[in-house]
Amino acid sequence: MKIPSTLILFTALIAVSIVTGHNLARPKAEKHLDVEDVEEALDDATLD
């Protein structure tokens, strides 16, 4: 099944907003999201 490009763009937008939101909301001392976390989120979102 071909994944619509709009779904891919939407998922990427959500992932970016989550990452930037977390980075802005957290104190600098706390660990920021890794690339692996983003990839996992993308994988979870694209399983549907």
Share of the chain above pLDDT 90, in %: 0
Contact 46, 23 (CB under 8 A): no
Kindly state the DSSP code that residue 32 receives in the 8-state scheme.
P
Handedness of CA 36, 39, 43, 45 (dihedral sign): positive
Which two structure tokens, joined as six digits, stand for 14? 């959500």
Tell me how crowded residue 47 is: count the other CB atoms within 10 A of its CB.
6
Rounded mean pLDDT, 14-29? 66
**Residue 46 vs residue 26, higher pLDDT:** 46
Question: What digits encode the pLDDT tens for the residues 5-20?
Answer: 888 888 888 888 777 7
Alpha helices in the chain (DSSP H): 5-25, 35-46
Higher pLDDT, 44 or 33: 44
- A 10 A CB-CB count for 16 gives 11
